[in-house]
Amino acid sequence: MENIISCAADGAPVMMGKKNGVLKLLKDDNPQMLLVHCVIHRQNLVSKKVSPVLNETLNAVIQCINTIKANAKCERLFKQFCKDQNADCVRLLLHTDVRWLSNGNCLKRFMELFDILSEFLDDKPYMTLLLTVDGKALVSYLADIFEKLNVLNKELQGTNMTLVNSKAKIFGFISFLELSQENISVKKFEQFYWLNKCEVTDATCLVIVEHLKIMVSDFNFRFSDFKEINYPSWMTQPLLVDLSDVTMEYQGELSELQNDDSIKALFKIKGTMMWLCEEEQAKYPNTSSLARKLLLPFPSSYLVECGFSAVNDILLKKRNRLDITKRGDLRLKLTKFLPRIKSLCSRHQAQGSH
């Protein structure tokens, strides 16, 4: 248990059982273990928090989409109507709550077809609500803010994402929200594409600023543990750091590292991921051991979900009734890693480890 340096968790049950669940038991056995709840899940929870006025607007948009998508004849008529109007798009995107990018995608498509929808659904009461000055401005703001949240969600994904990168992305987005509050309060909308095209009243500005304040507060609350994680400056900028600001324990290795041309070339290619390379670990064991403890923890469950998706894709192909261990698909994938596994085992045996 003491060899586990971090554990990443996901889902609501883990959050509800944080005082007596599996993470608490792991932390009791290994107090040095770093527990991380999936940053993508936390970011999605923040995006769900909207004010009653914005929630009413969002529900009106969903009702408009469902009116067309729920009826095959209505959808065909809408498609033909879009073609007659020479629209770039001819279909609306169905809103799905379980898909975290759905809000941004369906709202963006809704705004692209807003003028056509205003004619096609002009007799519907929920479309009438959106055709008002405040209604259109609120829909435009929702399309903009959810699109930015989608961009953040995608940036937090990836195989090389670390806690260092995640912290920079999250708190960079919080700073953007704080700046947006100030700009919108004085009616500067250049940062919001759709909102900048609309007429925005003072009442709408107040609603938008209040929502941004709620998001900033919720982000700071949910990611408060990230603020407590301090990364040494030499880990992100080992070639530029002033050695007088570094503790005595690491000054010797860093002074040699800053004059090592091979490490300079490696850092230009890999960045902070350089600390995970075997070459660097062999040359500078003290600095690399500390850097690895901060770079190895997974900030999200992205890789786990990718693994589940890959296995699920294998099982859904043709022979889905066969057990995965009795099929050649998974074995074929694993054989690609056998040479690497054997080399690792031989190296550990040579070092006397098991």
76 pLDDT more than 60: yes
The answer to whether residue 29 is domain-embedded is no
Calculate mean pLDDT across residues 96-114. 86
Claim to verify: residue 193 and residue 288 sit in the same structural domain: no
CA nearest to 107, candidates 196, 215, 218, 195: 195
Of 52 and 247, more confident: 52
- What local confidence, expressed as pLDDT, does residue 266 receive? 84
The answer to whether residue 276 is domain-embedded is yes
For the record, the structure tokens of 137 come out as: 């401005």
The answer to whether residue 19 is domain-embedded is no
Claim to verify: residue 52 and residue 150 sit in the same structural domain: yes
Number of domains in the chain: 3
- What local confidence, expressed as pLDDT, does residue 322 receive? 52
Calculate mean pLDDT across residues 321-341. 56
**pLDDT tier for residue 343 given thresholds of 50, 70 and 90:** low
330 pLDDT more than 80: no
Residue 300: helix, strand or coil by DSSP? Answer: coil
Claim to verify: residue 330 and residue 256 sit in the same structural domain: no
Count CA atoms within 13 Å of residue 118 on its CB side.
11
pLDDT tens digits, one per residue of 254-312: 888 888 888 888 888 888 888 888 878 888 888 888 888 888 888 888 878 887 777 77
Which residues pair with residue 34 across a beta bridge? 6
Final residue belonging to a domain, choices 207, 227, 247:
227
Residues with Cβ within 8 Å of 237's Cβ and at least 6 positions away in sequence, in order, are: none
Q: Which residue has the tokens 């050649």?
A: 328
Which residues pair with residue 36 across a beta bridge? 8
Residues with Cβ within 8 Å of 67's Cβ and at least 6 positions away in sequence, in order, are: 74, 121, 124
The answer to whether residue 322 is domain-embedded is yes
Claim to verify: residue 69 and residue 181 sit in the same structural domain: yes
Count CA atoms within 13 Å of residue 153 on its CB side.
20
The answer to whether residue 133 is domain-embedded is yes
pLDDT tens digits, one per residue of 140-150: 999 999 999 99
CA–CA dist 100, 117 (Å, integer):
25
Claim to verify: residue 263 and residue 344 sit in the same structural domain: no
Final residue belonging to a domain, choices 204, 227, 250:
227
**pLDDT tier for residue 354 given thresholds of 50, 70 and 90:** very low
Claim to verify: residue 112 and residue 85 sit in the same structural domain: yes
The answer to whether residue 35 is domain-embedded is no
Claim to verify: residue 85 and residue 182 sit in the same structural domain: yes
| Full residue range of the structural domain in which residue 246 is found | 232-300
Residue 328: helix, strand or coil by DSSP? Answer: helix
- What local confidence, expressed as pLDDT, does residue 334 receive? 54
Is residue 199 within 8 A of residue 137, CB to CB? The reply is: yes
Calculate mean pLDDT across residues 323-338. 55
Calculate mean pLDDT across residues 132-161. 90
Claim to verify: residue 222 and residue 258 sit in the same structural domain: no
The answer to whether residue 91 is domain-embedded is yes
The answer to whether residue 310 is domain-embedded is no
Claim to verify: residue 95 and residue 144 sit in the same structural domain: yes
98 pLDDT more than 80: no
Claim to verify: residue 110 and residue 176 sit in the same structural domain: yes
